[in-house]
Amino acid sequence: MSGRSTGAATDTATSAPATGATPNVFTRPLLLRDGRRPLHVEPVDGTVLRPVASRPAFGEYLRLLWLRRHFIVADARAKVSTSNSGTLLGRVWLVLSPLLDAAVYLVIFGLLLRSSRGIDNFIGYLLIGVFLFRLTSRTVSTGARSLVAGRSLVRSFAFPRAALPLASVAREALAFVPTLVLLVVLILFTRPAAADTWAAPAELIGWRWLLVPLVLALQLAMNLGLTLIAARATARVPDLGQVIGVLMRFWLYGSAVFFSFDRFIDHPTLLRVVEMNPMFLVLDIVRDCLLYGQTPAWESWAVLSAWSVGLLVAGAVFFWRGEESYGSV
- What band does 82 get if pLDDT is binned at 50, 70 and 90? confident
Terminal Cα-to-Cα distance of the chain (whole angstroms):
67
Report the pLDDT averaged over residues 74-97: 80
Q: Report the predicted TM-score, pTM, of the whole model to 2 decimal places.
A: 0.78
Residue 283, sorted as left (phi over 0), alpha (psi -120 to 50) or beta, turns out to be: alpha
Give helix then strand counts, H and E, for the chain.
14, 0
Beta bridge partner(s), residue 39: 30
The vertex-180 CA angle with 271 and 294, nearest 5°, equals 45
Query: Which residue type is seen at 298?
Result: W
Tens digit of each residue's pLDDT (9 = 90 or more) over 96-125: 888 898 889 888 887 888 877 878 888 889
Max mean pLDDT among 19-33, 191-205, 283-297 falls in 283-297
Q: How high is the pLDDT of residue 44? A: 60
Report helix, strand or coil for 39: strand
In contact, 165 and 74? CB cutoff 8 Å: no
Which of 212, 214, 213, 240 lies closest to 227 in space, CA to CA? 240
Q: What's 182's DSSP letter? A: H
Query: Which residue type is seen at 169?
Result: V
